[in-house]
Amino acid sequence: MTAAPVHGTWEPAPAARWEDAFLTGNGHHGALVLGDPHDDRVIVTHHTLVRPNGGEHARPPELAAALPALRERLLAGDVTAAEEFTDGRPLQWVQPFHPAFQLRLRRPPGADHAYRRTVDFATGETTATAGGWTSRVFVSRADDVIVQQVTAPHLTLDLALDHRLPGAPAALGVGHGAVRTPEGAVLSLRARYPDSDRAYTGVTVAAVTGGTAALVPPGLLVERAESLLLLTRVRRHTGELDVHAESRALGDLMTGRTYEDLLDRHLLHHRTAYDRVTLDLAAAPADRALPGSALLGRPGSPALLERLFAAGRYHQLSASGLLPPRLTGLWTGDWDTAWSGAFTTNANLNLQTASAAAAALPEVTEAHAALVHRQRDHWRENARAVFGARGIVAPSHTDGENGHSYHFSREYPLHLWTAGADWLLKPLVDHDETHGIRDPRTAEALAEVALFYEDFLTETEDGRLTVVPSYSPENRPANASWGTVDAAMDLSAARHALLTAADYHPEHAARWRALADRLPPHRINADGALAEWAREGLDDTYDHRHLSHLYGVWPLEEITPYDTPELATAAHRALDLRGAENDSAHGHLHHALVAARLRDGERVAHALGAVLAGDYFHTSLMSAHYPRRDVYNADAAHTLPAVLIEMLVQSTPTRLVLLPALPAALPAGELRGVRTRFGATLDLTWTPGTTTAVIRPGRTVRVELRTSSGTEPLDLTAGEDRVLHLKAR
């Protein structure tokens, strides 16, 4: 191996666009740091900041009484029947995510030189320097506060909290405060949403060392100081917020502590998590030294994959806490965020968090679990209102507050999607397997999914069960409407949910396994491909960004090259035929994840190459939804680490697969600290001649080891390291 990979990125100029701002966050607060020496802007975000638009009061449609008639029509062959399964409401978007304001520090113009801005993934700290001026920012995981320190000889600047960001509503009711307290100068910004009793308030406490600080409402003027320390929090609320209490809390945190003290408290949480897993692809030192903007121009460089892997884990961690990552992670500089900056649960959320278990970020899974369990009451209401059933049904879109299924239309009948609860619980099951402890909340939720299927599945004349209505996000058959019968994803989800619930609840196992056994098998169509709809007569639509029908391949293990080779061949054919439609980044990387499970390294490389060469990444190393950096979106940034891990290591509770889909372009490397679902930590090193795996098991287990040399049993004993030296590939 060469010198260690870079755990950060840098640029030789300030960010001219908020999309290029370096990012930091603690899963509650986020900050976008642009780093201009003369107009230093830090855009403040918070996971709870969603603008009321009516979605906060929306409820699922009361359609259960009409369900029997719909089923009868669909089973009789009426391919458009589901278009009438609605209460007639127009499409209602979920509450859109938005920024709070920007901290704006303006300095007099001057001749600064030797500019550089950096973000350190291992610390979460962004730094900008120019001449003697330095601005440092991080968001504390220990104290839930945005911390900024600015230093310069004879530092002179004015500070303000500025809400004027793109798309901010003209009717936003904004009030400013500027007072001097024992804690220091306190600036506040309160914004009330139009036509709502809801508001948010930001509070910044400023401590100046040397020089003078004068309140110049609504801001602060600092002259000839040595340094300025700022602590900022934002709260969403109804009614009034006690600004004095907030300022006292921030002042108490600041008292007797330096910037370095606050950073040390944060590092106990952040660095510990970030350092658990590393990837080294033996990249050229010259490439590793490049700024991100230059490295992005070398899509074939292993250094780019190294840096994007590190950045992806960093951004995932930074966006996960109160909630998991949104479509934009935890960040936006614009009030008009695409798709409301929400959680799209039918693909994007699970793709973004796909590496959490293997990449040793339980913080991400815990945030995902928080979203799931906080909304289960709403999911019960979805099951009752739409399907007349017990149990739970997850929505396809949520703003993080409202978990009701109300975002749907004729072209997107998302209220028909019943696979969501199993899909969203799968990462929690993976977490339980990885750590060897079953979370009782996961067990309860799985039982509720099984209860839903007990009530919802419909018996046909031949004694089989069917999923009707059924929906494959967000596709439709070539010869039918969107709402149909027996979508492959729905069948995989129903089987997996029933069998997994049976595993967690042995007292109900016989009943739930019997239901799973009565579900129809997957269908192989005339093209030799796994059909997206198992129902005969429904023709596939191949050119689509989603790969919902391959849920059984990834993330499930229902279809594998080892256990179900015929279905795996059909799934591979389905992948061959799948188009990229509108080149959504999530589609390319979902394709790569499925290809890795099917042991197709070159297809993985092709899908990765489409993203790396397609100009999907901003210089912040946050990604876009479409090529040419169109629409700020975290899918590619957060999913890429999962793709790289899946092509190197795959595991189940009983199987370990090493180098299943390694592209030829990556002949050497080292992955350290990856976690397996049988409770071991693994370090993997490979070169063209040798492969070495060091396995550190946390429990005693026998697994099946699969490598390019074949298959053999592997006995592991808790606490005893096992070193494997494998033959050349």
pLDDT-derived band at 728 (thresholds 50, 70, 90) equals low
pLDDT at 664 over 90: yes
Contact 508, 466 (CB under 8 A): no
The per-residue pLDDT for range 413-466, each reduced to its tens digit, is: 999 999 999 999 999 999 999 999 999 999 999 999 999 999 999 999 888 999
The per-residue pLDDT for range 461-516, each reduced to its tens digit, is: 888 999 999 999 999 999 999 999 999 999 999 999 999 999 999 999 999 999 99
Assessment of whether the complete model's pTM goes beyond 0.85: yes
Tell me the pairing of strands 701-707 and 655-658. Answer: parallel
Residue 206 CA to residue 528 CA, distance in Å, equals 67
How confident is the model over 65-74, as a mean pLDDT?
98
Residue 361 CA to residue 352 CA, distance in Å, equals 12
pLDDT-derived band at 617 (thresholds 50, 70, 90) equals very high
Residue 113: per-residue pLDDT: 83
Beta bridge partners of 713: 704
Residue 431 CA to residue 324 CA, distance in Å, equals 15
Residue 84 CA to residue 71 CA, distance in Å, equals 12
The per-residue pLDDT for range 685-716, each reduced to its tens digit, is: 999 989 999 999 999 999 999 998 899 999 99
Q: Maximum distance among all alpha carbons in the chain?
A: 86
Domains for the chain: give ranges and CATH numbers: 8-50+97-275 (2.70.98.50), 55-75+88-95+302-658 (1.50.10.10)
Binning the chain into helix, strand and coil, the percentages to the nearest 5 are 30, 25, 40
φ, ψ of residue 236 to 5 degrees: the values are -95, 140
- Rounded to the nearest 10 degrees, the angle between the axes of helix 302-319 and helix 362-374 is 40
344 sits in which H/E element: strand 343-344
Residue 157 CA to residue 153 CA, distance in Å, equals 12
Residue 1: per-residue pLDDT: 47
- Rounded to the nearest 10 degrees, the angle between the axes of helix 302-319 and helix 601-612 is 80
In the chain, count of helices (H) and strands (E)?
A: 17, 29
At position 156, the amino acid (one-letter code) is T
Residue 49 CA to residue 175 CA, distance in Å, equals 17
246 sits in which H/E element: helix 243-254
Residue with tokens 């110049």: 216
pLDDT at 305 over 50: yes
Please, what is the average pLDDT of the chain? 97
Closest CA to 505 of 423, 444, 456, 431: 444
pLDDT at 61 over 70: yes
Question: What is the DSSP secondary structure assignment for residue 634, as one 8-state letter?
Answer: S
- The helix/strand/coil state of 34 is coil
Closest CA to 415 of 492, 351, 495, 483: 483
What distances in angstroms separate CA 471 from CA 25, 138, 451, 622, 696, one per listed residue? 36, 43, 20, 31, 42
Cis ω before 226 (30° cut-off from 0): no
| CA torsion through residues 438, 440, 445, 447, sign | positive
Long-range (24+ apart) CB contacts under 8 A made by 215-218 are: 215/178, 215/179, 215/180, 215/185, 216/158, 216/178, 217/176, 217/178, 218/160, 218/161, 218/176, 218/177, 218/178, 218/187, 218/189
Q: How many CB atoms lie within 10 A of CB 156?
A: 16
pLDDT at 654 over 80: yes
As given in the structure block, the two tokens for residue 319 are: 């966006």
- The percent of residues above 70 in pLDDT, for the chain, comes to 99
Residue 2: per-residue pLDDT: 56
How confident is the model over 248-275, as a mean pLDDT?
96
- The helix/strand/coil state of 723 is strand
Residue 717 CA to residue 712 CA, distance in Å, equals 16
Residue 474 CA to residue 527 CA, distance in Å, equals 22
Contact 429, 484 (CB under 8 A): no
pLDDT-derived band at 323 (thresholds 50, 70, 90) equals very high
How many residues are recorded in the chain? Answer: 729
Residue 3: per-residue pLDDT: 73
